[in-house]
Structure 1
């Protein structure tokens, strides 16, 4: 295991396109880092640079106490698990797992012991004599992970390993990888475009867009305190609601915004320091509030919320709760309600707004105001 240090990493291709624009990330020994973002965010390019598959234009990558910029992939003491599994079709599972050990000239008896131990860890002992074509997608991914684990690298790199799996298997493998990390206490860098994977698996998340780390932090901190509109909208399922409004101050000097729904309006008092928002009074703002913070009065019992009767446009049962869609200030807004409390589309329902974790954003810059 090793720490990973990424300092001011830039990648510029010969055509002048800058893909990474000064990335700084520090990963402690044994941490699980998630690189998450949409297509073209630069996350896979950064992973390939850590692996040595892409050159560095400027900056420094350090694995443990070694600067690895100029080292070949084989000399970096890493193991990579790909989306495509990359198994040798003519080899058995046993031979695939042992392949890297053979390259390192590990004695045959030791190879066998390591393969057996890894197979037990991943619960694939019964598959050791099969070939990849005889395995399911989940089994192939376990074999690919087993081949990486057998080498005992300083750093594990995962490149969207679950993208080819069906939804149920993705959930199972997500838990499997997390359990594996807890057992091995290994340092892992994991690339995904799936924010649910990011939230459930990582100790540390780097949210990327256009070659820039928009925010780096723990899953809960990023969820509760998004740095800007992009992060707030990308992390969370369903995503955060964004309600356009004008910031005002009431007679008592407290900030508020006005919400309109179905011909009714409400002044929603904001729990923010008016002094911090003074220069924004009278200006357009975006109120960010997550679906679970707008809910039925039964679920909101005991929470100091503000209530508004809302006309419900859409009802989506999910089992443990029901998602309701209403319209506020012309925007679709998603709320969470208890299934017993949900009304039918076209009916009104009293909803409670808990603003303890609400945020305000600047619509021009997208940056968080409070």
Structure 2
């Protein structure tokens, strides 16, 4: 196992285009780091720099306290699993897994022990004599992981390994990778654009945009307390609702003016009024997760003061089985809520939704940074 420190790392291509702009990340031995963001955010470039496949323009990458900027990939004791599997089609599964061991001239009897151990761990022992062309996508990905495991490295690097799989296989392989990490305890750095993978797999998540880490922290921390509008909208499915409106005084506190086309009211907010006094009368953006807008059947305690009723007109419904997504207009913008399927809401009908503001967040529409 190994710790990883990325200290003020920059990457600029020879044509002058900046890709990474001062990235700082630290993870401990055995942690699972997710680099997540949209296309072009720099996450794969950063992974390649950790692997030694890309050079560092400025800053330091340290593995287990040792700066590795000038070390070749083979000297970093890492193993990489690619999106494309990168298996040799003419070789058997056994030979694909042991290929790196052959290169390093590991004795044949030791190779057999390693291949047997790895195949048992990944449950691919029955596939050892097959060729990659005879395997499913999920089986090929297991073989690619097996080849990396055979190295017994201090760190695994995964570059969007599940993006070529169908939805069902992605879910299965997510569980396999998580179980693998629990068994081995090896440090993992994992690149994905899929925020569900990020939330389910990682101990730590770095959300990236335009070469900058927008937020770094534990999955639940990022989900509950996003640092800005980008993070709030990127993490979560369906994404967080953003309700723009005027911040007003409400009793001794503050609230947000709401207009649903059915009713107008002030939604009381749980924030420190003293801190926000200077924002009263100004436009703000309230962030609420869909599960924080629900109905009385789904609410745990309808007497909770955090739950405030708001009458809306239903635009669209999307039944998902365990719950139903209800879309409605608030302050001229469509929001999505999760309600109990037994509520059976109908399009164009009115219904009362309960807004749970206990986990609400507030953003500045100009800077897009979090206010409260």
TM-score, normalised by the number of residues in structure 1: 0.99
- Residue of structure 1 equivalent to 2:158: 158
Q: Secondary structure at the match of 1:356?
A: helix
Offset at residue 44 of structure 1 (A) = 0.3
Q: Aligned ranges for residues 278-297 of structure 1 at < 5 Å?
A: 278-297=277-296
Is 1:332 aligned with 2:331? no
- Residue of structure 1 equivalent to 2:175: 175
Offset at residue 263 of structure 1 (A) = 3.8
Instruction: Please give the alpha-carbon distance, in whole angstroms, between the structure 1 residues aligned to 2:65 and 2:337.
Output: 49
Offset at residue 30 of structure 1 (A) = 0.1
Instruction: Please give the alpha-carbon distance, in whole angstroms, between the structure 1 residues aligned to 2:6 and 2:345.
Output: 51
- Residue of structure 1 equivalent to 2:271: 272
**Structure 2 unaligned regions, length at least 5:** none
Offset at residue 342 of structure 1 (A) = 3.0
Instruction: Please give the alpha-carbon distance, in whole angstroms, between the structure 1 residues aligned to 2:332 and 2:353.
Output: 17
Offset at residue 254 of structure 1 (A) = 1.3
Q: Secondary structure at the match of 2:162?
A: coil
Q: Secondary structure at the match of 1:278?
A: helix
**Structure 1 unaligned regions, length at least 5:** none
- Residue of structure 1 equivalent to 2:315: 313
1:172-195 deviations in Å (ceiling 9; x for gaps): 000000000000001000000000
Offset at residue 279 of structure 1 (A) = 1.1
The answer as to whether partners of 2:262 and 2:312 remain within 8 angstroms in 1 is no
Instruction: Please give the alpha-carbon distance, in whole angstroms, between the structure 2 residues aligned to 1:296 and 1:271.
Output: 20
Q: Secondary structure at the match of 2:311?
A: strand
The answer as to whether partners of 2:5 and 2:65 remain within 8 angstroms in 1 is no
Instruction: Please give the alpha-carbon distance, in whole angstroms, between the structure 2 residues aligned to 1:221 and 1:306.
Output: 25
- Residue of structure 2 equivalent to 1:104: 104
Instruction: Please give the alpha-carbon distance, in whole angstroms, between the structure 1 residues aligned to 2:327 and 2:289.
Output: 13
1:93-130 deviations in Å (ceiling 9; x for gaps): 00000011111211100100110110011000000000
Is 1:256 aligned with 2:255? yes
Instruction: Please give the alpha-carbon distance, in whole angstroms, between the structure 1 residues aligned to 2:93 and 2:64.
Output: 31
Q: Secondary structure at the match of 1:247?
A: strand
Instruction: Please give the alpha-carbon distance, in whole angstroms, between the structure 2 residues aligned to 1:253 and 1:350.
Output: 26
- Residue of structure 2 equivalent to 1:14: 14
Instruction: Please give the alpha-carbon distance, in whole angstroms, between the structure 2 residues aligned to 1:364 and 1:47.
Output: 32
Ranges of 4+ aligned residues in structure 1 off by more than 2 Å:
none
Offset at residue 301 of structure 1 (A) = 3.9
- Residue of structure 1 equivalent to 2:365: 363
- Residue of structure 1 equivalent to 2:124: 124
1:206-242 deviations in Å (ceiling 9; x for gaps): 0000000000000000000000000000000000000
Offset at residue 341 of structure 1 (A) = 0.9
Instruction: Please give the alpha-carbon distance, in whole angstroms, between the structure 1 residues aligned to 2:299 and 2:46.
Output: 43
Offset at residue 289 of structure 1 (A) = 0.4
- Residue of structure 2 equivalent to 1:80: 80
1:115-159 deviations in Å (ceiling 9; x for gaps): 011001100000000010110100000000000001100110000
1:294-326 deviations in Å (ceiling 9; x for gaps): 000121141331101111000000010000000
Is 1:350 aligned with 2:352? yes
- Residue of structure 1 equivalent to 2:142: 142
Instruction: Please give the alpha-carbon distance, in whole angstroms, between the structure 2 residues aligned to 1:107 and 1:33.
Output: 34
Root-mean-square deviation (CA), in Å? 0.7
1:40-80 deviations in Å (ceiling 9; x for gaps): 11000000000011010010001113211001111110100
